[in-house]
Structure 1
Amino acid sequence: MDPIIVKNSGYIELKKIQDERDGNLIIMETLKNIPFEIKRVYYINNLENSVSVRGKHAHRELEQVIFCISGSFILGLDDGSQKQKIFMNKDNIGVLLGKHLWHTMEEFSSGCVLLVVASDYYQESDYIRDYNLFKNIVGQQ
């Protein structure tokens, strides 16, 4: 995997136990391989439209880890000065989405399922949905 070059991000690898006959067991533990207490879990599926683009926002305080547990997609990251695209297709490798990190998800394969764990409950006030505002906020840091 290519190194992550944007700020406030990094790879998260979960323990994967493979049993040829009985499938895979992948283990996620809060404050062990997930660097925060998990307060929210959600998943996205039925992404049959390959031209869909999800995300298109950053967060003021929230941290998340995103996984592709089935299929594949492209994760776009932008820290305000550098941009990077990551091909997501490994069920036990996630990407940390730290605060003030603009992210998008696109080019979903058929049957793609994304799983996200978050450090806090949903709060609309934490979202930065305007790219110009995002650029202003990260430019002031």
Structure 2
Amino acid sequence: MDKPKLLEFPKIFDPRGNLTFLQSPQQVPFVIKRVFWTYDVPGGEMRGGHAYKTQQEIIVALSGSFDVQIMLSNGYTQKFSLNRSYYGLYLPAGTWRHMENFSTNALGLHLSSTEYLEQDYIRDLDQYLNYKQ
């Protein structure tokens, strides 16, 4: 996969409560090397505001909702609203993103293809735009 894409994960409906699962490589197009989550984001705050040079990522709203804004190659942005735990947003390497509009008690799960490497981050938008050219 070479562009951001909304993925739908399997849903098992049960009167006792529903279940969704992920398996690699069926639902996750990379080997998961790191998992982290974002939570307790104060109203009006933004998370992210960076890109990764090599890391691929899937973001899932396990609870609540938030928006993920990505920058497209033409300089425009595209918004993905995550609000169902059976959808995940796949972000290939080189995708600038930030998350905003967090609902109360929003919980975001992040599945990453690499371990944490500070040198993989691009945190400056101008540097990112130069990198993409």
TM-score category, normalised to shorter length = over 0.9
Report how far residue 25 of structure 1 moved. Answer: 1.0
1:37 and 2:51 equivalent? no
Please state how far the C-alpha of 1:8 moved relative to its aligned partner: 2.1
Which of 76, 80, 90 does residue 96 from structure 1 map onto?
Answer: 90
Partner SS, residue 134 of structure 1: helix
CA distance in 2, matches of 1:24, 1:42: 23
Instruction: Give the aligned partner of residue 10 of structure 1.
Output: 5
Which residue is 1:62 aligned to? 55
Q: What is the Cα-based RMSD across aligned positions, in Å?
A: 1.1
State the alpha-carbon separation in 1 of the partners of residues 88 and 56 from structure 2: 13
The structure 1 residue matched to 2:122, chosen from 106, 124, 128, is 128
Q: TM-score, normalised by structure 2?
A: 0.94
Q: Check if 1:53 corresponds to 2:46.
A: yes
The runs of 5 or more residues in structure 1 that have no matched partner are 1-6
The alpha-carbon deviation at position 98 of structure 1 amounts to 0.8
CA distance in 2, matches of 1:112, 1:45: 6
Instruction: Verify the 8 A CA contact 1:14 1:26 in the aligned structure 2.
Output: yes
Matching residue's letter, 1:89: N
User: TM-score when scaled to structure 1?
Assistant: 0.89
Q: Please say if residues 72 and 78 of structure 2, whose CA atoms lie closer than 8 Å, have aligned partners that are also in contact.
A: no
What does residue 115 of structure 1 align with? 109
Aligned twin of 1:26: 20
> Does the aligned pair in 2 maintain the 1:66–1:96 contact within 8 Å?
yes
Question: Unaligned stretches of 5+ in structure 2?
Answer: none
State the identity as a percent. Answer: 32
Question: 1:110 aligns to what SS in structure 2?
Answer: coil
Partners of 1:79 and 1:138 within 8 A in 2: no
CA distance in 2, matches of 1:25, 1:53: 29
- What is the match of residue 76 of structure 1? 69
How many residues matched?
Answer: 131
